[in-house]
Homo-oligomer: A and B are copies of this chain.
Amino acid sequence: MILINLDYQGRIPIYEQIVSIIERYVALGILKPKEQIPSIRELASNLGINPNTVKKAYDILEQKKVIITISTKGTYISEKTDEVLEQKKQEELEKLEHQVELLRNLGVTDQEMIALIHKKNKD
């Protein structure tokens, strides 16, 4: 059973939220290679949303080679999860860069930012 929390209010469409949550779970190793994931209908009913929405998410994930659907058998996590992880890392590191840049423009020093990283580590 996968834990998926959806935000129905924000601007990010449901199907996209599903995509990124599953991607993250794969990157984190919570979902492992060759593992089977819920069918479209099952997940849809669990989340209380329309199957078309889940279908769209699975289509995108398949296109991104994160999952593989085998007709009549089910849907499985791809075997090459390393690549997914690596790609995800790069994406998120880029976001970090932007955020650092933005904060520097607001007058926040490197020291403050580094301190925040260290502090966070102790939590």
Q: Which of A9-45 contact B (CB under 8 A)?
A: 9, 11-12, 24, 27-28
Asked if A28 meets B106 with Cβ closer than 8 Å, knowing A70-B9, A96-B100, A99-B99, the reply is yes
**What DSSP secondary structure best describes chain A's contact surface?**
helix
State which of B70, B85, B113, B120 has its C-beta within 8 Å of the C-beta of A8. B70
How long is the Cα–Cα vector from A9 to B72 in the complex, in angstroms? 10
A114 in the interface (beta carbon within 8 A): yes
**Contact across chains for B116 and A96 when beta carbons are under 8 A apart:** yes
A5 at the interface (CB under 8 A from B): no
How far is it, in angstroms, between the C-alpha of A27 and the C-alpha of B107 when the chains are bound? 9
Q: Which residues of B contact A116 (CB under 8 A)?
A: 93, 96-97, 100
